[in-house]
Amino acid sequence: MIALVDCNSFYASCELVFRPDLVGRPVVVLSNNDGCVIAANKEAKALADIPMFEPVFKIKKQLIANNVVFFSSNYTLYGEMSQRVVNILKTFSSKVEVYSIDESFIDLSTVPHEELEAFGHQIKNTIYRLTGLPVGVGIAKTKVLSKLANKMSKKIPNKNHVCVINSDDDRVKALKWSPVTGVWGIGKKHSERVIAIGVATAYDFTQLPMAWVRKEMTVVGERTWRELRGESVMEFITEPKKKKAIGTAKSFGKKLESLDIIEEACSYYVGEVAEVLRAQNSCASAIHIFLVTNFFSTKDKQYSNSITVKLAMPTNDTFILVTEAKKALHLIYKEGYKYKKVGVNLLGITPEEYVQGNLFKIPTESKKTLTKVVDELNVKFGKLKVSSALVGTRVKEWELIKEERSPRYTTQWKEILTLKDT
Amino acid sequence: MDFLLIFGIYPYFYTMETFSHGKVKKLERQHMPEVSKQTGFPSPATHYMEPKISLEQELITNNDATFYVRIDSNALQEFTIFKNDVLIIDRSFYPKKNSLAMVVIDGEFKVIKIELEAKEKEFTLWGVITYIIHACK
Protein backbone atom coordinates (compact mmCIF):
# COMPACT_ATOMS: atom_id res chain seq x y z
CA MET A 1 0.00 0.00 0.00
CA ILE A 2 1.03 3.58 -0.64
CA ALA A 3 0.25 6.67 1.39
CA LEU A 4 0.13 10.19 0.09
CA VAL A 5 0.82 12.63 2.89
CA ASP A 6 0.21 16.25 2.13
CA CYS A 7 0.22 19.36 4.27
CA ASN A 8 -2.99 21.36 4.46
CA SER A 9 -2.59 24.91 3.11
CA PHE A 10 1.12 24.38 3.57
CA TYR A 11 2.51 27.91 3.20
CA ALA A 12 -0.18 29.46 5.38
CA SER A 13 0.20 26.66 7.95
CA CYS A 14 3.95 27.31 8.18
CA GLU A 15 3.24 30.94 9.01
CA LEU A 16 0.62 30.02 11.61
CA VAL A 17 2.96 27.72 13.56
CA PHE A 18 4.74 30.88 14.71
CA ARG A 19 1.69 33.13 14.76
CA PRO A 20 -1.02 31.51 16.92
CA ASP A 21 -2.64 34.93 17.20
CA LEU A 22 -3.74 34.55 13.58
CA VAL A 23 -5.34 31.11 13.93
CA GLY A 24 -8.93 31.28 12.72
CA ARG A 25 -8.32 34.33 10.58
CA PRO A 26 -8.08 34.22 6.80
CA VAL A 27 -4.42 34.10 5.74
CA VAL A 28 -3.00 34.28 2.24
CA VAL A 29 0.53 34.02 0.92
CA LEU A 30 1.62 36.05 -2.07
CA SER A 31 3.96 35.02 -4.87
CA ASN A 32 7.44 36.38 -5.37
CA ASN A 33 7.32 40.11 -5.74
CA ASP A 34 3.85 40.02 -4.20
CA GLY A 35 2.36 39.55 -7.63
CA CYS A 36 -0.57 37.30 -6.82
CA VAL A 37 -2.13 35.06 -4.20
CA ILE A 38 -0.54 31.60 -4.34
CA ALA A 39 -1.79 30.03 -1.12
CA ALA A 40 -4.65 30.49 1.26
CA ASN A 41 -5.82 28.77 4.41
CA LYS A 42 -9.33 27.36 4.66
CA GLU A 43 -10.69 30.51 6.27
CA ALA A 44 -9.44 32.56 3.32
CA LYS A 45 -10.71 29.99 0.83
CA ALA A 46 -14.14 30.28 2.45
CA LEU A 47 -14.28 33.92 1.38
CA ALA A 48 -15.54 33.18 -2.07
CA ASP A 49 -14.56 36.53 -3.49
CA ILE A 50 -10.82 36.03 -3.19
CA PRO A 51 -9.69 34.54 -6.46
CA MET A 52 -6.41 32.63 -6.46
CA PHE A 53 -3.68 33.67 -8.86
CA GLU A 54 -5.23 37.08 -9.28
CA PRO A 55 -2.79 40.02 -9.30
CA VAL A 56 -2.76 41.47 -5.81
CA PHE A 57 -3.12 45.08 -6.85
CA LYS A 58 -6.56 44.18 -8.18
CA ILE A 59 -7.82 42.58 -4.99
CA LYS A 60 -5.88 44.40 -2.29
CA LYS A 61 -8.98 46.35 -1.26
CA GLN A 62 -11.02 43.16 -0.95
CA LEU A 63 -8.30 41.56 1.13
CA ILE A 64 -8.18 44.47 3.52
CA ALA A 65 -11.97 44.75 3.69
CA ASN A 66 -12.21 41.08 4.65
CA ASN A 67 -9.53 41.47 7.29
CA VAL A 68 -7.29 39.01 5.46
CA VAL A 69 -3.73 38.69 6.72
CA PHE A 70 -1.19 38.52 3.93
CA PHE A 71 2.38 37.34 3.86
CA SER A 72 5.01 37.57 1.16
CA SER A 73 6.33 34.12 0.38
CA ASN A 74 9.07 33.01 2.75
CA TYR A 75 10.47 30.05 0.84
CA THR A 76 13.39 29.71 3.21
CA LEU A 77 10.96 28.90 6.00
CA TYR A 78 8.68 26.69 3.90
CA GLY A 79 11.63 24.72 2.53
CA GLU A 80 13.04 24.09 5.97
CA MET A 81 9.67 23.07 7.45
CA SER A 82 9.11 20.78 4.48
CA GLN A 83 12.45 19.09 5.15
CA ARG A 84 11.35 18.42 8.73
CA VAL A 85 8.18 16.72 7.50
CA VAL A 86 10.15 14.58 5.05
CA ASN A 87 12.62 13.59 7.78
CA ILE A 88 9.75 12.55 10.04
CA LEU A 89 8.15 10.53 7.22
CA LYS A 90 11.43 8.68 6.80
CA THR A 91 11.02 7.38 10.35
CA PHE A 92 7.76 5.72 9.27
CA SER A 93 8.96 4.12 6.06
CA SER A 94 12.25 3.46 4.32
CA LYS A 95 10.79 4.48 0.98
CA VAL A 96 9.74 8.11 0.73
CA GLU A 97 9.21 9.89 -2.55
CA VAL A 98 9.10 13.65 -2.20
CA TYR A 99 6.60 14.74 -4.80
CA SER A 100 6.50 18.46 -4.07
CA ILE A 101 7.26 20.88 -1.26
CA ASP A 102 4.14 19.75 0.59
CA GLU A 103 3.41 16.24 -0.70
CA SER A 104 5.21 12.92 -0.35
CA PHE A 105 4.37 9.35 -1.23
CA ILE A 106 5.47 6.75 1.26
CA ASP A 107 5.56 3.01 0.88
CA LEU A 108 3.54 1.11 3.49
CA SER A 109 3.89 -2.40 2.08
CA THR A 110 5.12 -3.69 5.43
CA VAL A 111 2.11 -2.45 7.41
CA PRO A 112 -0.69 -5.01 7.94
CA HIS A 113 -3.95 -4.03 6.26
CA GLU A 114 -6.01 -3.83 9.42
CA GLU A 115 -3.50 -1.43 10.97
CA LEU A 116 -3.33 1.00 8.06
CA GLU A 117 -5.87 3.45 9.36
CA ALA A 118 -4.29 3.63 12.81
CA PHE A 119 -0.90 4.01 11.13
CA GLY A 120 -2.21 6.90 9.07
CA HIS A 121 -3.45 8.63 12.19
CA GLN A 122 -0.11 8.07 13.86
CA ILE A 123 1.68 9.73 10.93
CA LYS A 124 -0.73 12.66 11.01
CA ASN A 125 -0.51 13.13 14.77
CA THR A 126 3.28 12.81 14.91
CA ILE A 127 3.85 15.39 12.20
CA TYR A 128 1.45 17.76 13.91
CA ARG A 129 3.01 17.27 17.32
CA LEU A 130 6.61 17.67 16.12
CA THR A 131 6.19 20.50 13.64
CA GLY A 132 2.79 22.06 14.25
CA LEU A 133 1.80 21.38 10.64
CA PRO A 134 -1.56 19.73 9.89
CA VAL A 135 -1.46 17.00 7.24
CA GLY A 136 -3.88 14.74 5.44
CA VAL A 137 -3.11 11.08 4.73
CA GLY A 138 -4.60 9.04 1.89
CA ILE A 139 -3.76 5.35 1.75
CA ALA A 140 -4.47 3.02 -1.15
CA LYS A 141 -3.01 0.40 -3.42
CA THR A 142 -1.66 2.75 -6.09
CA LYS A 143 -0.37 6.30 -6.31
CA VAL A 144 -3.39 7.63 -8.19
CA LEU A 145 -5.77 5.99 -5.72
CA SER A 146 -3.82 7.29 -2.72
CA LYS A 147 -4.07 10.77 -4.19
CA LEU A 148 -7.83 10.25 -4.42
CA ALA A 149 -7.96 8.90 -0.85
CA ASN A 150 -6.07 11.98 0.27
CA LYS A 151 -8.65 14.21 -1.32
CA MET A 152 -11.44 12.27 0.41
CA SER A 153 -9.63 12.59 3.74
CA LYS A 154 -10.08 16.33 3.47
CA LYS A 155 -13.48 16.59 1.86
CA ILE A 156 -15.36 14.01 3.90
CA PRO A 157 -15.63 15.45 7.43
CA ASN A 158 -15.80 12.26 9.49
CA LYS A 159 -12.61 10.93 7.89
CA ASN A 160 -10.64 13.26 10.13
CA HIS A 161 -7.88 13.72 7.56
CA VAL A 162 -7.04 10.05 7.20
CA CYS A 163 -8.67 7.90 4.53
CA VAL A 164 -7.83 4.35 3.54
CA ILE A 165 -9.06 2.66 0.38
CA ASN A 166 -8.56 -0.83 1.66
CA SER A 167 -10.86 -3.15 -0.28
CA ASP A 168 -12.24 -3.32 -3.77
CA ASP A 169 -15.60 -2.14 -2.41
CA ASP A 170 -13.90 0.95 -0.97
CA ARG A 171 -12.23 1.54 -4.29
CA VAL A 172 -15.44 1.43 -6.28
CA LYS A 173 -17.15 3.71 -3.75
CA ALA A 174 -14.29 6.18 -3.95
CA LEU A 175 -14.30 6.16 -7.74
CA LYS A 176 -18.04 6.81 -7.81
CA TRP A 177 -17.59 9.65 -5.33
CA SER A 178 -14.95 11.44 -7.39
CA PRO A 179 -15.82 13.47 -10.48
CA VAL A 180 -13.51 12.63 -13.35
CA THR A 181 -12.14 16.17 -13.36
CA GLY A 182 -10.65 15.63 -9.92
CA VAL A 183 -8.53 12.64 -10.88
CA TRP A 184 -4.79 13.15 -10.68
CA GLY A 185 -3.32 12.94 -14.18
CA ILE A 186 -6.48 13.79 -16.10
CA GLY A 187 -6.05 17.33 -17.25
CA LYS A 188 -8.68 19.84 -18.24
CA LYS A 189 -8.64 18.98 -21.95
CA HIS A 190 -8.94 15.24 -21.43
CA SER A 191 -11.65 15.56 -18.83
CA GLU A 192 -13.68 17.75 -21.20
CA ARG A 193 -13.40 15.07 -23.84
CA VAL A 194 -14.45 12.20 -21.63
CA ILE A 195 -17.31 14.24 -20.17
CA ALA A 196 -18.47 14.81 -23.75
CA ILE A 197 -18.86 11.06 -24.21
CA GLY A 198 -20.85 10.71 -21.02
CA VAL A 199 -18.19 10.04 -18.39
CA ALA A 200 -18.98 11.84 -15.13
CA THR A 201 -17.13 10.05 -12.37
CA ALA A 202 -13.75 8.38 -12.03
CA TYR A 203 -15.68 5.10 -11.96
CA ASP A 204 -17.20 5.79 -15.39
CA PHE A 205 -13.71 6.47 -16.66
CA THR A 206 -12.45 3.09 -15.50
CA GLN A 207 -15.30 1.45 -17.42
CA LEU A 208 -14.06 2.84 -20.74
CA PRO A 209 -12.29 0.28 -22.91
CA MET A 210 -8.53 0.35 -22.40
CA ALA A 211 -7.88 0.54 -26.14
CA TRP A 212 -9.93 3.73 -26.38
CA VAL A 213 -8.12 5.33 -23.48
CA ARG A 214 -4.76 4.43 -24.93
CA LYS A 215 -5.63 5.74 -28.35
CA GLU A 216 -7.21 8.99 -27.20
CA MET A 217 -5.17 9.76 -24.10
CA THR A 218 -1.80 8.09 -24.79
CA VAL A 219 0.06 5.91 -22.33
CA VAL A 220 -0.27 8.58 -19.66
CA GLY A 221 -4.06 8.15 -19.72
CA GLU A 222 -3.68 4.39 -19.76
CA ARG A 223 -1.46 4.54 -16.68
CA THR A 224 -4.06 6.57 -14.81
CA TRP A 225 -6.76 4.14 -15.96
CA ARG A 226 -4.79 1.12 -14.71
CA GLU A 227 -3.90 2.80 -11.43
CA LEU A 228 -7.54 3.67 -10.80
CA ARG A 229 -8.43 0.01 -11.36
CA GLY A 230 -5.99 -0.92 -8.65
CA GLU A 231 -3.04 -1.98 -10.75
CA SER A 232 0.11 -0.29 -9.53
CA VAL A 233 2.11 0.87 -12.54
CA MET A 234 3.75 4.04 -11.27
CA GLU A 235 6.99 3.32 -9.54
CA PHE A 236 8.51 4.93 -6.52
CA ILE A 237 11.15 7.49 -7.36
CA THR A 238 13.36 7.82 -4.33
CA GLU A 239 16.49 9.13 -6.03
CA PRO A 240 16.02 12.70 -7.18
CA LYS A 241 16.57 13.13 -10.87
CA LYS A 242 19.48 15.35 -11.72
CA LYS A 243 18.11 18.47 -13.28
CA LYS A 244 18.43 18.78 -17.03
CA ALA A 245 18.15 22.54 -16.94
CA ILE A 246 18.42 24.96 -14.05
CA GLY A 247 17.00 28.39 -14.21
CA THR A 248 15.68 31.35 -12.35
CA ALA A 249 13.68 34.39 -13.33
CA LYS A 250 12.11 36.86 -11.02
CA SER A 251 10.46 40.18 -11.50
CA PHE A 252 12.36 43.23 -10.40
CA GLY A 253 11.10 45.16 -7.41
CA LYS A 254 10.67 48.12 -9.74
CA LYS A 255 11.03 48.61 -13.47
CA LEU A 256 14.66 48.94 -14.52
CA GLU A 257 16.00 50.77 -17.52
CA SER A 258 19.76 50.99 -17.39
CA LEU A 259 21.96 48.16 -18.58
CA ASP A 260 24.37 48.16 -15.69
CA ILE A 261 21.73 47.48 -13.05
CA ILE A 262 20.09 44.77 -15.13
CA GLU A 263 23.56 43.32 -15.58
CA GLU A 264 23.94 43.11 -11.83
CA ALA A 265 20.60 41.38 -11.41
CA CYS A 266 21.47 38.95 -14.16
CA SER A 267 24.86 38.21 -12.62
CA TYR A 268 23.21 37.63 -9.26
CA TYR A 269 20.86 35.04 -10.76
CA VAL A 270 23.76 33.39 -12.54
CA GLY A 271 25.47 33.15 -9.17
CA GLU A 272 22.38 31.49 -7.71
CA VAL A 273 21.98 28.89 -10.43
CA ALA A 274 25.70 28.17 -10.59
CA GLU A 275 25.57 27.26 -6.91
CA VAL A 276 22.79 24.76 -7.61
CA LEU A 277 24.89 23.39 -10.45
CA ARG A 278 27.93 22.85 -8.25
CA ALA A 279 25.87 21.35 -5.45
CA GLN A 280 24.85 18.53 -7.80
CA ASN A 281 28.35 18.26 -9.34
CA SER A 282 27.27 19.20 -12.82
CA CYS A 283 28.39 21.57 -15.53
CA ALA A 284 26.36 23.57 -18.02
CA SER A 285 27.22 23.66 -21.71
CA ALA A 286 25.00 26.56 -22.70
CA ILE A 287 23.38 29.55 -21.14
CA HIS A 288 20.04 31.10 -22.06
CA ILE A 289 19.17 34.67 -21.09
CA PHE A 290 15.89 36.46 -21.56
CA LEU A 291 14.75 39.95 -20.90
CA VAL A 292 11.16 41.23 -20.88
CA THR A 293 9.21 44.41 -20.24
CA ASN A 294 5.92 44.50 -18.36
CA PHE A 295 3.25 43.16 -20.69
CA PHE A 296 0.48 44.18 -18.32
CA SER A 297 1.38 47.80 -18.73
CA THR A 298 -0.61 49.61 -21.37
CA LYS A 299 1.35 52.84 -21.41
CA ASP A 300 4.92 51.49 -21.80
CA LYS A 301 6.60 50.31 -24.97
CA GLN A 302 6.97 46.56 -25.08
CA TYR A 303 10.05 44.52 -25.91
CA SER A 304 11.33 41.09 -25.16
CA ASN A 305 14.16 39.00 -26.43
CA SER A 306 16.18 35.98 -25.54
CA ILE A 307 19.48 34.46 -26.53
CA THR A 308 21.26 31.16 -26.06
CA VAL A 309 25.03 30.98 -26.11
CA LYS A 310 27.09 27.84 -26.19
CA LEU A 311 30.04 27.83 -23.86
CA ALA A 312 33.54 26.97 -25.06
CA MET A 313 33.43 24.05 -22.68
CA PRO A 314 30.95 22.93 -20.03
CA THR A 315 31.55 24.68 -16.75
CA ASN A 316 30.06 25.45 -13.37
CA ASP A 317 32.41 28.31 -12.65
CA THR A 318 30.45 31.40 -11.63
CA PHE A 319 33.13 33.69 -12.98
CA ILE A 320 33.04 32.24 -16.48
CA LEU A 321 29.24 31.97 -16.46
CA VAL A 322 28.81 35.57 -15.34
CA THR A 323 31.18 36.83 -18.02
CA GLU A 324 29.37 34.89 -20.75
CA ALA A 325 25.93 35.89 -19.44
CA LYS A 326 26.89 39.55 -19.54
CA LYS A 327 28.14 39.27 -23.11
CA ALA A 328 24.85 37.66 -24.07
CA LEU A 329 22.82 40.27 -22.22
CA HIS A 330 24.59 43.06 -24.12
CA LEU A 331 23.42 41.47 -27.37
CA ILE A 332 19.74 41.52 -26.49
CA TYR A 333 19.49 44.67 -24.39
CA LYS A 334 17.91 47.68 -26.06
CA GLU A 335 17.90 51.11 -24.56
CA GLY A 336 14.71 53.02 -23.76
CA TYR A 337 12.53 50.25 -22.34
CA LYS A 338 11.34 49.67 -18.82
CA TYR A 339 12.30 46.10 -18.05
CA LYS A 340 10.42 43.96 -15.62
CA LYS A 341 12.25 40.69 -15.58
CA VAL A 342 15.51 39.05 -16.52
CA GLY A 343 15.89 35.28 -16.51
CA VAL A 344 18.79 32.87 -16.65
CA ASN A 345 18.64 29.22 -17.67
CA LEU A 346 21.60 26.89 -17.73
CA LEU A 347 21.20 24.19 -20.35
CA GLY A 348 22.93 21.03 -21.45
CA ILE A 349 23.66 19.94 -17.91
CA THR A 350 26.27 17.20 -17.77
CA PRO A 351 27.97 15.52 -14.84
CA GLU A 352 31.21 17.20 -13.91
CA GLU A 353 33.26 14.02 -14.36
CA TYR A 354 32.24 13.70 -18.03
CA VAL A 355 33.43 17.14 -19.02
CA GLN A 356 36.18 16.88 -21.56
CA GLY A 357 39.06 19.27 -21.38
CA ASN A 358 39.65 21.47 -24.33
CA LEU A 359 43.11 21.87 -25.81
CA PHE A 360 42.96 25.61 -25.31
CA LYS A 361 41.09 25.77 -22.04
CA ILE A 362 42.21 23.50 -19.29
CA PRO A 363 40.22 23.75 -16.08
CA THR A 364 42.52 24.82 -13.33
CA GLU A 365 42.51 23.42 -9.84
CA SER A 366 43.12 26.81 -8.26
CA LYS A 367 39.95 28.24 -9.79
CA LYS A 368 38.03 25.25 -8.44
CA THR A 369 39.39 25.78 -4.97
CA LEU A 370 38.46 29.45 -5.14
CA THR A 371 34.91 28.61 -6.16
CA LYS A 372 34.65 26.07 -3.36
CA VAL A 373 35.83 28.58 -0.77
CA VAL A 374 33.35 31.14 -2.07
CA ASP A 375 30.51 28.61 -1.83
CA GLU A 376 31.48 27.73 1.72
CA LEU A 377 31.67 31.36 2.75
CA ASN A 378 28.25 31.95 1.31
CA VAL A 379 26.81 29.00 3.16
CA LYS A 380 28.30 30.34 6.34
CA PHE A 381 27.58 34.04 6.11
CA GLY A 382 24.40 34.05 4.10
CA LYS A 383 23.36 34.08 0.53
CA LEU A 384 25.85 35.52 -1.94
CA LYS A 385 27.81 37.51 0.61
CA VAL A 386 30.92 36.77 -1.37
CA SER A 387 30.70 36.95 -5.12
CA SER A 388 32.33 38.10 -8.28
CA ALA A 389 32.70 41.87 -8.43
CA LEU A 390 30.70 41.64 -11.63
CA VAL A 391 27.65 40.87 -9.53
CA GLY A 392 27.76 44.31 -8.04
CA THR A 393 26.40 45.54 -4.76
CA ARG A 394 23.17 47.26 -5.64
CA VAL A 395 21.06 44.20 -4.95
CA LYS A 396 18.53 46.31 -3.04
CA GLU A 397 17.60 48.28 -6.10
CA TRP A 398 16.23 45.38 -8.06
CA GLU A 399 15.64 42.60 -5.57
CA LEU A 400 12.10 41.54 -4.91
CA ILE A 401 10.19 43.69 -2.54
CA LYS A 402 9.47 41.53 0.44
CA GLU A 403 7.54 43.78 2.72
CA GLU A 404 5.26 41.30 4.41
CA ARG A 405 7.79 38.48 4.62
CA SER A 406 7.83 36.77 8.00
CA PRO A 407 11.10 36.09 9.82
CA ARG A 408 13.14 33.07 8.78
CA TYR A 409 12.42 31.51 12.18
CA THR A 410 14.32 28.29 11.64
CA THR A 411 17.38 29.24 9.64
CA GLN A 412 18.56 32.63 10.89
CA TRP A 413 19.65 33.07 14.50
CA LYS A 414 18.78 36.74 14.34
CA GLU A 415 15.25 36.02 13.15
CA ILE A 416 14.14 33.35 15.61
CA LEU A 417 10.76 33.71 17.24
CA THR A 418 10.93 36.43 19.91
CA LEU A 419 8.49 36.78 22.79
CA LYS A 420 8.12 40.26 24.17
CA ASP A 421 5.57 40.09 26.95
CA THR A 422 4.83 36.67 28.31
CA MET B 1 39.61 29.98 14.13
CA ASP B 2 37.24 29.92 11.20
CA PHE B 3 39.53 32.21 9.31
CA LEU B 4 42.33 29.70 9.62
CA LEU B 5 40.03 26.93 8.64
CA ILE B 6 39.30 28.47 5.29
CA PHE B 7 42.97 28.36 4.42
CA GLY B 8 43.30 24.78 5.44
CA ILE B 9 45.62 25.32 8.35
CA TYR B 10 43.28 24.08 10.99
CA PRO B 11 43.80 20.36 11.47
CA TYR B 12 40.20 19.26 11.14
CA PHE B 13 38.24 17.73 8.35
CA TYR B 14 35.32 20.00 7.85
CA THR B 15 32.54 18.50 5.83
CA MET B 16 29.39 20.24 4.81
CA GLU B 17 26.36 19.12 2.97
CA THR B 18 23.99 21.47 1.27
CA PHE B 19 20.42 20.31 0.99
CA SER B 20 18.34 21.34 -1.93
CA HIS B 21 16.35 23.85 0.09
CA GLY B 22 19.47 25.56 1.35
CA LYS B 23 19.65 24.19 4.85
CA VAL B 24 23.17 23.39 5.81
CA LYS B 25 24.11 20.62 8.10
CA LYS B 26 27.57 20.33 9.49
CA LEU B 27 28.01 16.63 9.29
CA GLU B 28 31.05 15.97 11.33
CA ARG B 29 34.18 17.45 12.63
CA GLN B 30 36.66 14.72 12.92
CA HIS B 31 40.00 15.10 14.55
CA MET B 32 42.92 14.38 12.28
CA PRO B 33 45.91 12.76 13.93
CA GLU B 34 49.01 14.90 13.65
CA VAL B 35 52.11 13.32 12.18
CA SER B 36 55.45 14.88 13.00
CA LYS B 37 56.74 16.53 9.87
CA GLN B 38 60.32 16.14 11.10
CA THR B 39 60.44 12.49 12.02
CA GLY B 40 57.32 11.01 10.45
CA PHE B 41 56.39 9.49 13.80
CA PRO B 42 52.67 9.46 14.39
CA SER B 43 51.29 11.22 17.42
CA PRO B 44 50.98 8.93 20.43
CA ALA B 45 47.32 10.00 20.57
CA THR B 46 46.58 8.53 17.14
CA HIS B 47 44.38 5.69 18.34
CA TYR B 48 42.67 7.77 21.00
CA MET B 49 41.22 10.44 18.80
CA GLU B 50 37.55 11.22 19.21
CA PRO B 51 35.31 13.86 17.71
CA LYS B 52 35.04 17.01 19.79
CA ILE B 53 32.00 17.58 21.97
CA SER B 54 29.20 18.98 19.90
CA LEU B 55 26.64 21.13 21.69
CA GLU B 56 24.08 20.37 19.03
CA GLN B 57 24.50 16.67 19.62
CA GLU B 58 24.31 17.01 23.39
CA LEU B 59 21.46 19.47 23.69
CA ILE B 60 19.20 18.46 20.86
CA THR B 61 17.36 15.17 20.84
CA ASN B 62 15.13 15.61 17.85
CA ASN B 63 16.27 18.10 15.27
CA ASP B 64 13.03 17.98 13.34
CA ALA B 65 11.01 18.97 16.40
CA THR B 66 13.38 21.61 17.78
CA PHE B 67 12.78 25.34 17.63
CA TYR B 68 14.57 28.28 19.23
CA VAL B 69 12.76 31.15 20.90
CA ARG B 70 14.28 34.35 22.25
CA ILE B 71 12.77 35.97 25.32
CA ASP B 72 12.74 39.73 25.22
CA SER B 73 11.26 40.40 28.64
CA ASN B 74 12.08 40.23 32.31
CA ALA B 75 8.76 38.73 33.31
CA LEU B 76 9.98 35.14 33.51
CA GLN B 77 12.65 35.43 36.17
CA GLU B 78 10.75 33.03 38.45
CA PHE B 79 11.71 30.34 35.93
CA THR B 80 15.31 31.65 35.78
CA ILE B 81 14.62 32.94 32.29
CA PHE B 82 16.07 36.40 31.74
CA LYS B 83 15.87 38.99 29.04
CA ASN B 84 17.69 37.89 25.86
CA ASP B 85 17.84 34.22 26.86
CA VAL B 86 17.17 31.70 24.13
CA LEU B 87 14.96 28.72 24.84
CA ILE B 88 15.51 25.38 23.16
CA ILE B 89 12.09 23.91 22.62
CA ASP B 90 11.57 20.30 21.66
CA ARG B 91 8.05 19.57 20.51
CA SER B 92 8.64 15.81 20.60
CA PHE B 93 8.77 15.79 24.42
CA TYR B 94 5.69 15.13 26.50
CA PRO B 95 5.46 17.46 29.49
CA LYS B 96 5.99 16.07 32.97
CA LYS B 97 5.07 17.68 36.25
CA ASN B 98 7.10 20.86 36.69
CA SER B 99 8.24 20.89 33.07
CA LEU B 100 8.66 24.35 31.66
CA ALA B 101 6.68 24.70 28.49
CA MET B 102 5.71 27.20 25.89
CA VAL B 103 1.95 27.18 25.46
CA VAL B 104 -0.69 29.14 23.62
CA ILE B 105 -3.44 30.80 25.65
CA ASP B 106 -6.02 32.85 23.76
CA GLY B 107 -3.79 33.00 20.72
CA GLU B 108 -0.79 34.24 22.68
CA PHE B 109 2.46 32.50 23.54
CA LYS B 110 3.08 32.03 27.25
CA VAL B 111 5.75 30.26 29.24
CA ILE B 112 4.36 28.21 32.10
CA LYS B 113 5.33 25.51 34.55
CA ILE B 114 3.18 22.44 34.00
CA GLU B 115 1.20 21.33 37.03
CA LEU B 116 -0.60 18.21 36.14
CA GLU B 117 -3.09 17.97 39.02
CA ALA B 118 -4.18 21.55 39.44
CA LYS B 119 -6.78 22.72 36.97
CA GLU B 120 -5.25 25.57 35.13
CA LYS B 121 -6.45 27.92 32.50
CA GLU B 122 -6.97 26.16 29.24
CA PHE B 123 -3.92 26.10 27.07
CA THR B 124 -2.56 24.42 23.99
CA LEU B 125 0.92 23.00 24.40
CA TRP B 126 3.35 24.38 21.84
CA GLY B 127 6.51 22.69 23.06
CA VAL B 128 8.49 21.64 26.10
CA ILE B 129 11.47 23.80 27.01
CA THR B 130 14.52 21.57 27.27
CA TYR B 131 17.29 24.14 27.80
CA ILE B 132 17.69 27.83 28.49
CA ILE B 133 20.70 29.47 26.89
CA HIS B 134 21.87 32.41 28.95
CA ALA B 135 24.74 34.64 27.86
CA CYS B 136 26.96 35.88 30.70
CA LYS B 137 28.59 38.68 28.76
pLDDT, greater one: B38 or B90: B90
pLDDT of residue A169: 92
CATH code for A3-76?
A: 3.40.1170.60
Q: Within an 8 Å CB–CB cutoff, is residue B67 touching chain A? A: yes
pLDDT of residue A373: 74
SS3 labels along chain A:
CEEEEEECCHHHHHHHHCCHHHCCCCEEEECHHHCEEEEECHHHHHCCCCCCCCEHHHHHHHHHHCCCEEEECCHHHHHHHHHHHHHHHHCCCCCEEEEECCEEEEECCCCCHHHHHHHHHHHHHHHHHHHCCCEEEEEECCHHHHHHHHHHHHHCHHHCCEEECCCHHHHHHHHHHCEHHHCCCCCHHHHHHHHHCCCCEHHHHHCCCHHHHHHHHHHHHHHHHHHHCCCCCCCCCCCCCCCCCEEEEEEEEEEECCHHHHHHHHHHHHHHHHHHHHHCCEEEEEEEEEEEECCCCCCCCCCEEEEEEEEEEEECCHHHHHHHHHHHHHHHCCCCCCEEEEEEEEECCEEHHHCCCCCCCCCCHHHHHHHHHHHHHHHHHCCCCCCCHHHCCCHHHHCCCCCCCCCCCCCCHHHCEEECCC
Query: Contacts of residue B75 in chain A, CB cutoff 8 Å?
Result: 421-422
The ranges of chain A annotated as CATH 3.30.1490.100 are: 246-391
Query: Contacts of residue B128 in chain A, CB cutoff 8 Å?
Result: none
> Domain locations in chain B?
53-136
Tell me the ipTM for this assembly: 0.72
Does B85 score more than 90 pLDDT? yes
Name the minimum distance, in Å, from the CA of B18 to any CA of chain A.
7
Q: Name which of A84, A376, A419 is nearest B69 (Cβ-Cβ).
A: A419
Name the minimum distance, in Å, from the CA of A141 to any CA of chain B.
29
Render pLDDT for A11-24 as a digit per residue (tens, 0 to 9).
999 999 999 999 99
| Contact between chains at B69 and A80 (C-beta distance less than 8 A) | no
Nearest CA in chain B to A126: B92
| Contact between chains at B24 and A416 (C-beta distance less than 8 A) | no
Q: Within an 8 Å CB–CB cutoff, is residue B60 touching chain A? A: no
**pLDDT per residue as tens, chain A (422 positions):** 999 999 999 999 999 999 999 999 999 888 776 677 888 888 888 886 666 666 777 777 778 888 888 888 888 899 999 999 999 999 999 899 999 899 999 999 999 999 999 999 999 999 999 999 999 999 999 999 999 999 999 888 888 999 999 999 999 999 999 998 888 888 888 888 888 888 889 999 999 998 988 888 888 889 999 999 998 888 887 776 666 778 887 777 777 888 888 888 888 888 888 888 888 888 888 888 888 888 777 778 888 888 888 888 888 888 888 888 988 888 888 888 888 888 888 888 888 776 665 555 555 666 667 777 777 776 666 555 565 555 555 555 555 444 568 899 999 999 999 998 76
Query: Contacts of residue A22 in chain B, CB cutoff 8 Å?
Result: 107
| Contact between chains at B18 and A413 (C-beta distance less than 8 A) | no
Interface test with A, best of B3, B4, B20, B83 (most A CBs within 10 A): B20
Q: What is the third-level CATH fold of A246-391?
A: Dna Ligase; domain 1 (3.30.1490)
Q: What is the third-level CATH fold of A93-229?
A: DNA polymerase; domain 1 (1.10.150)
Nearest CA in chain B to A75: B21
CATH level 2 (architecture), domain B53-136: Ribbon (2.10)
Q: Name which of B21, B91, B111 is nearest A422 (Cβ-Cβ).
A: B111
Does B19 score more than 50 pLDDT? no
Q: Name which of B6, B69, B111 is nearest A416 (Cβ-Cβ).
A: B69
Query: Contacts of residue B65 in chain A, CB cutoff 8 Å?
Result: 84, 129-131
Taking any CB pair shorter than 8 Å as contact, residues of chain A touching chain B are: 20-23, 75-76, 79-80, 82-84, 87-88, 129-132, 240, 279, 373, 376-377, 379-380, 383, 409-411, 413, 416-422
Nearest CA in chain B to A24: B107
Query: Contacts of residue A82 in chain B, CB cutoff 8 Å?
Result: 21
Nearest CA in chain B to A131: B65
Q: Within an 8 Å CB–CB cutoff, is residue B41 touching chain A? A: no
| Contact between chains at A419 and B70 (C-beta distance less than 8 A) | yes
| Contact between chains at B109 and A20 (C-beta distance less than 8 A) | yes
The ranges of chain A annotated as CATH 3.40.1170.60 are: 3-76
pLDDT of residue B23: 38
